[in-house]
Amino acid sequence: MFDPTTRDIKYLPGVGEQRATLLNRELNIYSLYDLLYYFPYRYVDRSRLFTVSEIDGRMPHIQLCGEIRSFEEMGEGASRRLVAHFTDGTGFVDLVWFRGIKYVKGRYKIGTKYIVFGKPTIFGGRANIAHPDIDPAETLQLSSMGLQPYYNTTERMKRSGLNSQAMAKLTANLFSLLPETLDETLSDSIIKRYNLMPLSKALKLIHFPSNVNELRHAEYRLKFEELFYIQLGILNYSKERNFKYAGHNFTKVGEMFNRFYHENLPFELTGAQKRVVREIRRDVNRCVQMNRLMQGDVGSGKTLVALLAMLLAKDNGFQACMMAPTEILAEQHYSTLCRMLKGLPMRVELLTGSTRQKERTPLLAGLISGEIDILVSTHAVLEDNVNFAQLGLVVIDEQHRFGVVQRAKMWKKNNIPPHVLVMTATPIPRTLAMTLYGDLDVSVIDELPPGRKPITTRHIFRNRIDEVYSFIEKQLREGRQAYIVYPLITESEKMDLKNLEEGYAQLCNRFCDYRIGKLHGKMKPKEKDAEMQRFASGETQILVSTTVIEVGVDVPNSTIMVIENAERFGLSQLHQLRGRVGRGAQQSYCILVTDFKLSDDTRKRMEIMTASNDGFEIAEADLKLRGPGDIEGTQQSGIAFDLKIANLAKDEQLLQFVREIARDIVDKDPDCSNEENRILWRRLAEFRRRSNRNWGAIS
Ligand code: ADP
Ligand code: MG
């Protein structure tokens, strides 16, 4: 049988081995199905050409037809760029490239007629289009084209001729192979009731619409389906949970909780913290599994609330586990907990991927015997050989990096699943929370500990770094301290470390009267601790670091956070880093240093950071910035979620709508036996199988 989900892409006419490798590697396209679901990210109305004389700087993307008169290379270093002077006879517009200069110069010829596509802006009185799409004019067929699809492709693909047009051609080839009608993926009743376009037609029209109306209709059908199955999956999961899983009952507040509260706690809880502790206590005392999301901005004191919950577990004869997404974070939580619990008879242990076998064996034994009260861990805890005597509570930090599947794994560690408390340092926008966690209850810590001052944030281009240094010096002279952070995307990359080392050397030169510390993930835990300790005690005044200080670090006397190459960070990460300052009584500053050339996206990120200190606002904005077709930058921006067409920021209403539909189905067909819904349950099972890779990516 012809099955597009398994048929290898290399057999598609026009592909072959070499292109198949590119499609695999660059876009994750392996099967015909993957290509079918690789949707255009935009459509161009090719029925209309604009003229240069019409450009007013407020236009959307337009197309022009004309020729390049000359090339000119301008600027130095970061602002180096290639300018092509382009005209259609009604005026001139500058086409500008900051990257791929050599490639562009070799590819486009002076005097040839081209169709140029892009968003024009006016700068210094001149119209320009940055990084335009350019096609030979003979490919233009104005009236017959309808809407032309544009597909994201990478530079490497373009170099091999796999540009947007080639992708469109392959997709057209694909349709000529496919049967006239594909198997429907929604039930008849849903399609009829909500007036949806049949799948085959929607897929055809999402690639090749002849007008905007058709396109909207096709989009609606596909978005509906995508969001619907996510919701159906999640609601079905939580139904299983509610039906099958009773919860442990924590009936009392006992000795550990009280001793900690009265002897160890150095300050009063904020009102919000007290409220959340109350919410948690109510949850764990109802014989039903708690599944609660605790949202709170950076520095709002979530860790403390989690600790109180873990003490409750202990008081009721249970163990607790705190899971962090990285080893560094786990180490930090571990030392924080040890410090806070000093003097109490609580045994806290740390288990990560790098825990040695010698320590691991007794540790695993201690978990099974119940001698260990709190385990701080990473994914390492999910392994099958890690078992608890009585696991009563799991606290998950930075939830968005753990998927539903991982959580389900934790539930299976005991007959009765532990209560789950999820903490997010970056508040997750409501839409996303709903998508990821379905029925999770939400607590919000909407109050910072007293005495915090809003941080002043500035965005500075690298050429003004001297001013930044002068400013730092002034603060140091007043007795303050500063962090200077360099990007380190993967902890193993030598390249990144080089940045840090160079920066460190430069700073030592510039600030020779001060002591400077250095911190990165490659250092041994002991060295890291010692370095951190020197900074905390004021022995060093500047700490040059990678993002290892992103979370948990707490030095109130430090008032400056300089983030180098800020363009390489996602919004949530920037916000996290900024949260390292503003913890004392002094005014604090965050300085974002970037190159001169910035993408629109980066520019917006910087604007949002300088305009807002509110983690919720930032998280919402972050989501709005990243559409489904965004290839670059999603990895490190915190929330990675693989949607093909729906956009969580824009489709919130539709999401709510399909959620109700899914809920209705789950309620009315609890054992999945209704004939009418069979197609839905089967599809859901298939979807889960296929998206395993994606769930993995969230973790
Ligand atoms: P989060 O994990 O929410 O980012 P933390 O739990 O790390 O925040 O708390 C940030 C800092 O505030 C820590 O130094 C913590 O000890 C302190 N803190 C927490 N709660 C309070 C409070 N009620 N009053 C004063 N300081 C607090
Ligand atoms: Mg924290």
pLDDT (tens digit, 9 = 90+) per residue, 290-307? 888 898 887 889 999 999
* In the predicted structure, residue 698 carries a pLDDT above the cut 50: no
* CA–centroid distance, residue 336 to ligand 2 (Å): 10
Query: Among 143-147, 271-275, 693-697, whose mean pLDDT is lowest?
Result: 693-697
Average pLDDT on 471-485 reads 96
What is the rounded distance in angstroms from the CA atom of residue 131 to the CA atom of residue 232? 41
Atom of ligand 1 nearest to the CA of 340: 16
- In terms of DSSP bridges, do strands 419-424 and 391-397 run parallel, antiparallel, or are they unpaired? parallel
* CA–centroid distance, residue 496 to ligand 1 (Å): 31
Q: Are 306 and 421 in contact (CB under 8 A)?
A: yes
* In the predicted structure, residue 36 carries a pLDDT above the cut 60: yes
Query: Among 328-332, 337-341, 348-352, 606-610, whose mean pLDDT is lowest?
Result: 328-332
| Ligand with the closest atom to the CA of 324 | 2
- Per-residue pLDDT, 48: 77
Task: Give percent of the chain with pLDDT exceeding 70.
Answer: 86
Total Cβ atoms within 10 A of residue 269: 17
Select from 285, 280, 282, 288 the least CA-distant residue to 304.
280
At a CB cut-off of 8 Å and minimum separation 6, what does 67 contact?
Answer: 86, 87, 88, 110, 111, 112, 113, 114
* In the predicted structure, residue 348 carries a pLDDT above the cut 80: yes
* CA–centroid distance, residue 466 to ligand 2 (Å): 33
Q: Are 451 and 585 in contact (CB under 8 A)?
A: yes
Q: Whose structure tokens read 């500035």?
A: 458
* CA–centroid distance, residue 425 to ligand 2 (Å): 6
Higher pLDDT among residues 244 and 52, named by residue: 52
* In the predicted structure, residue 594 carries a pLDDT above the cut 60: yes
What is the rounded distance in angstroms from the CA atom of residue 675 to the CA atom of residue 659? 21
Give the closest residue (by CA) to ligand 1 atom 10.
299
Atom of ligand 1 nearest to the CA of 297: 3
| Ligand with the closest atom to the CA of 580 | 1
- Per-residue pLDDT, 218: 96
* In the predicted structure, residue 259 carries a pLDDT above the cut 60: yes
Q: Are 440 and 291 in contact (CB under 8 A)?
A: yes
Query: Across the beta sheet with 126-130, what order do the strands follow?
Result: 120-123, 126-130, 92-97, 81-87, 62-74, 113-118, 133-136
Give the closest residue (by CA) to ligand 1 atom 6.
301
* CA–centroid distance, residue 288 to ligand 2 (Å): 27
Higher pLDDT among residues 432 and 96, named by residue: 96
What is the rounded distance in angstroms from the CA atom of residue 434 to the CA atom of residue 293? 11
| Ligand with the closest atom to the CA of 551 | 2
Atom of ligand 1 nearest to the CA of 579: 4
- Per-residue pLDDT, 220: 96
* In the predicted structure, residue 654 carries a pLDDT above the cut 70: yes
* CA–centroid distance, residue 358 to ligand 2 (Å): 30
- Per-residue pLDDT, 628: 32
* CA–centroid distance, residue 202 to ligand 2 (Å): 45
- Per-residue pLDDT, 407: 61
**The pair of three-digit structure tokens given for residue 473, joined into one six-digit string:** 């010096």
* In the predicted structure, residue 243 carries a pLDDT above the cut 60: no
Distance between first and last Cα of the chain: 35
Atom of ligand 1 nearest to the CA of 268: 23
- Per-residue pLDDT, 678: 93
* In the predicted structure, residue 312 carries a pLDDT above the cut 60: yes
- Per-residue pLDDT, 590: 97
Could you read off the pLDDT of 655-683 as tens digits, one per residue?
889 988 998 999 899 888 899 999 999 98
Average pLDDT on 366-382 reads 94
Q: What are the distances in angstroms from CA 22 to CA 11, 168, 210?
A: 14, 16, 30
* In the predicted structure, residue 145 carries a pLDDT above the cut 80: no
- Per-residue pLDDT, 7: 85
Q: What is the mean pLDDT of the chain?
A: 84
Q: What are the distances in angstroms from CA 466 to CA 482, 492, 581, 682?
A: 15, 30, 21, 62
Give the closest residue (by CA) to ligand 1 atom 19.
301
The H or E element spanning position 570 is none
What is the rounded distance in angstroms from the CA atom of residue 585 to the CA atom of residue 450? 10
Could you read off the pLDDT of 123-137 as tens digits, one per residue?
777 889 988 988 888
At a CB cut-off of 8 Å and minimum separation 6, what does 147 contact?
Answer: 43, 44, 45, 46, 209, 210, 211, 212, 215
Select from 559, 304, 364 the least CA-distant residue to 452.
559
* In the predicted structure, residue 229 carries a pLDDT above the cut 60: yes
- Per-residue pLDDT, 617: 81
Give the closest residue (by CA) to ligand 1 atom 4.
299
| Ligand with the closest atom to the CA of 295 | 1
Total Cβ atoms within 10 A of residue 616: 18
**The pair of three-digit structure tokens given for residue 616, joined into one six-digit string:** 């919720």
Average pLDDT on 194-210 reads 94
Give the closest residue (by CA) to ligand 1 atom 11.
299
- Per-residue pLDDT, 433: 66
* In the predicted structure, residue 638 carries a pLDDT above the cut 70: no
Atom of ligand 1 nearest to the CA of 554: 14
Atom of ligand 1 nearest to the CA of 303: 6
Atom of ligand 1 nearest to the CA of 298: 4
* CA–centroid distance, residue 397 to ligand 1 (Å): 15
Q: What are the distances in angstroms from CA 662 to CA 189, 435, 692?
A: 13, 12, 21
**The pair of three-digit structure tokens given for residue 272, joined into one six-digit string:** 């919000």
* In the predicted structure, residue 246 carries a pLDDT above the cut 90: no
If one residue of 277, 295, 303 were mutated to test the ligand 1 pocket, choosing by the most ligand atoms within 8 A of its CB, it would be: 303
Q: Whose structure tokens read 């805890």?
A: 381
Total Cβ atoms within 10 A of residue 504: 19
Q: Mean pLDDT highest for which of 289-298, 546-555, 689-698?
A: 289-298
For residue 613, with 0-12 CB atoms within 10 Å meaning exposed, 13-18 middle and 19 or more buried, which class applies? buried
Instruction: State the number of CA atoms in the 13 A half-sphere of 52 facing the CB.
Output: 20
Q: Whose structure tokens read 């197609």?
A: 679
At a CB cut-off of 8 Å and minimum separation 6, what does 657 contact?
Answer: none
| Ligand with the closest atom to the CA of 267 | 1
* CA–centroid distance, residue 448 to ligand 1 (Å): 8
Q: What are the distances in angstroms from CA 248 to CA 318, 390, 419?
A: 9, 10, 7
Higher pLDDT among residues 60 and 286, named by residue: 286
> With helix as H, strand as E and coil as C, how does 287-316 read?
CECCEEEEEECCCCCHHHHHHHHHHHHHHC
* CA–centroid distance, residue 552 to ligand 2 (Å): 5
* In the predicted structure, residue 364 carries a pLDDT above the cut 60: yes
- Per-residue pLDDT, 480: 96
**The pair of three-digit structure tokens given for residue 205, joined into one six-digit string:** 């029209």
**The pair of three-digit structure tokens given for residue 667, joined into one six-digit string:** 């309620």
* In the predicted structure, residue 270 carries a pLDDT above the cut 80: yes
* CA–centroid distance, residue 636 to ligand 1 (Å): 26
Give the closest residue (by CA) to ligand 1 atom 5.
301
Instruction: State the number of CA atoms in the 13 A half-sphere of 325 facing the CB.
Output: 20
Higher pLDDT among residues 375 and 550, named by residue: 375
Higher pLDDT among residues 504 and 44, named by residue: 504
Q: Are 393 and 285 in contact (CB under 8 A)?
A: no
> Model's pTM, two decimal places?
0.61
Higher pLDDT among residues 222 and 530, named by residue: 222
If one residue of 295, 304, 332 were mutated to test the ligand 1 pocket, choosing by the most ligand atoms within 8 A of its CB, it would be: 304
Higher pLDDT among residues 5 and 334, named by residue: 334
* In the predicted structure, residue 6 carries a pLDDT above the cut 90: no
Q: Which residues line ligand 1 (CB under 6 A)?
A: 267-270, 273, 296, 298-304, 425, 449, 554
